[in-house]
């Protein structure tokens, strides 16, 4: 589940709920271990304040890293669906694959280059500001951010797809072989190999007594392995759904409620008949809103027959709407990102139908098997 924050440079920014877990962990680690160790004169209260500030600046650095990927991608004609910050950092959601190896290479290098520049900036702030000007806590925060941005840049240059280094490797292979699918398959395989090295190294560290550090390596390796597999599968899905818009996979036969219907009718004719979490309320193909079981709960049962649906309809969240001319693959990624199984299909303000994950995946399977 994602929380939308707004837009930067026209790019939607979201936070996955898992981000709060790593944010809390980083603040706790900095406040209880890092700052007290690097400078014992820092008080507990200052350590917690420094942990919060440093964690926020760290994720701002991650956002800058991903934002630069997106900016370079847009300049090379690649549409960006948005940036999501999550437990392991961030990801820029490309709506298309790069058109050339050169554009892939530029986009891949933009993120690490940004991290290296930020590392230099924070080190210069620490060096020229010093403890006298920045204060002890300010100096340690700047020094920490210099180190962590350097580590972030180096880590992302590991040649394991879908890390930036893996994308650099894919660009080189793509240029040499002139085959994006084959280059992606090889880069994904290398990414899985790197992931297994992380997992093996993590278990080895755990056996040698570094349990927490080893556990983190195992966790990162597991994530990279899944990401490498999913990246190749995503390319296959994208290719299978290429040129297919939502209009071709939507259904026009779906339950929608009249605003004049009573709540009692809605319960008996819809809630008890269909397995949907939300129902569109329409009038002359105009979408007025949606109604769910939550709205019904707020109405006393004795008032169900007298209460029309129009009184309890709620506005439609933009996250569950897609245009009929949008790409089917984008619709699938949109649903996966927001945890929705269905999207309402609109065009020119009129409701046209509904599209589901199952219908898109079923079509992709038919295309991949050569039956479509």
What architecture is the 246-368 domain classified under in CATH?
Roll (3.10)
Structural tokens at position 187:
């880069």
Per-residue pLDDT at 371 exceeds 60: no
Rounded to the nearest 10 degrees, how much is the dihedral formed by the CA atoms of 151, 126, 13, 89?
Answer: 20
Residue 46 confidence class, pLDDT cut points 50, 70, 90: very high
pLDDT of residue 90: 72
Nearest Cα residue to 82 out of 12, 5, 17, 4? 12
Each residue of 196-236: pLDDT tens digit? 999 999 999 888 888 877 888 888 888 888 888 777 777 77
What is the share, in percent, of the chain residues with pLDDT greater than 90?
21
Structural tokens at position 355:
């599209």
List every span in the chain annotated with CATH 3.10.580.10: 246-368
**334 within 8 A of 342, measured Cβ to Cβ:** no
Each residue of 58-90: pLDDT tens digit? 989 999 998 998 889 888 888 787 788 776 667
User: Residue 309 and residue 78: Cα distance in Å, rounded?
Assistant: 43
Query: What does the H/E/C string look like for 173-185?
Result: HHHHHCCHHHHHH
**235 within 8 A of 205, measured Cβ to Cβ:** no
Each residue of 279-293: pLDDT tens digit? 888 888 788 888 888
Per-residue pLDDT at 238 exceeds 90: no
Each residue of 292-347: pLDDT tens digit? 888 888 888 888 888 888 888 888 777 778 888 888 887 887 777 666 777 888 88
Per-residue pLDDT at 18 exceeds 80: no
User: Residue 192 and residue 47: Cα distance in Å, rounded?
Assistant: 38
Each residue of 128-184: pLDDT tens digit? 888 878 888 999 999 999 999 999 999 889 888 888 998 999 999 999 998 888 888
pTM: 0.72
Contacts for 296 with CB less than 8 Å, ≥ 6 apart: 263, 266, 267, 271, 304, 312
pLDDT of residue 143: 93
pLDDT of residue 89: 67
Distances (CA, A) of 245 to 144, 312, 355, 363: 47, 33, 11, 12
If 0-12 CB within 10 Å is exposed, 13-18 middle and 19+ buried, where does residue 61 land?
A: buried
Which sign, positive or negative, has the C-alpha torsion 200, 205, 207, 212? negative
pLDDT of residue 87: 62
Per-residue pLDDT at 349 exceeds 60: yes
Per-residue pLDDT at 274 exceeds 60: yes
48 by DSSP, 3-state: which?
helix
Residue 359 phi, psi dihedral angles, 5° rounding: -65, -40
């Amino acid at each position: 589940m994602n929380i939308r924050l707004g837009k930067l440079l026209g790019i939607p920014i979201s936070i996955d709920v898992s981000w709060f877990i790593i944010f809390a962990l980083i603040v706790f680690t900095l406040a209880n271990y890092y700052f007290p160790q690097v400078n014992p004169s820092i008080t507990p209260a200052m350590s917690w304040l420094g942990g919060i500030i440093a964690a926020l600046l760290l994720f701002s650095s991650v956002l800058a890293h991903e934002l630069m990927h997106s900016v370079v991608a847009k300049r090379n004609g690649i549409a960006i669906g948005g940036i999501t910050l999550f437990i392991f950092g961030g990801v820029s959601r490309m709506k298309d694959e790069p058109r050339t190896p050169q554009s892939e290479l530029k986009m891949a290098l933009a993120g690490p280059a940004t991290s290296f520049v930020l590392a230099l900036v924070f080190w210069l702030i620490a060096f020229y500001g010093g403890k006298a000007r920045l204060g002890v806590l300010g100096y340690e925060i700047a020094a920490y951010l210099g180190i962590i941005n350097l580590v972030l840049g180096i880590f992302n240059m590991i040649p394991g797809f879908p890390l930036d280094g893996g994308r650099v490797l894919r660009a080189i292979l793509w240029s040499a072989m002139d085959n994006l699918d084959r280059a992606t398959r090889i880069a994904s395989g290398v990414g899985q190999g790197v992931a297994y090295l992380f997992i093996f190294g993590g278990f080895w560290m755990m056996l040698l007594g570094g349990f927490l550090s080893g556990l983190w390596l195992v966790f990162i390796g597991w994530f990279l392995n899944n990401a490498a597999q999913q990246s190749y599968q995503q390319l296959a899905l994208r290719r299978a759904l290429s040129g297919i818009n939502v209009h071709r996979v939507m259904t026009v036969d779906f339950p929608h409620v009249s605003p004049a219907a009573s709540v009692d009718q809605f319960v008996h004719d819809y809630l008890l008949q269909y397995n949907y979490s939300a129902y569109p309320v329409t009038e002359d193909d105009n979408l007025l809103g949606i109604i769910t079981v939550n709205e019904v709960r707020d109405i006393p049962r004795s008032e169900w027959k007298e209460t029309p649906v129009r009184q309890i309809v709620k506005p439609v969240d933009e996250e569950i709407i897609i245009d009929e001319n949008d790409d089917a693959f984008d619709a699938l990624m949109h649903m996966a990102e927001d945890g929705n199984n269905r999207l309402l299909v609109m065009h020119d303000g009129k409701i046209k139908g509904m599209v589901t994950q199952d219908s898109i995946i079923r079509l992709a399977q038919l295309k991949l098997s050569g039956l479509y």
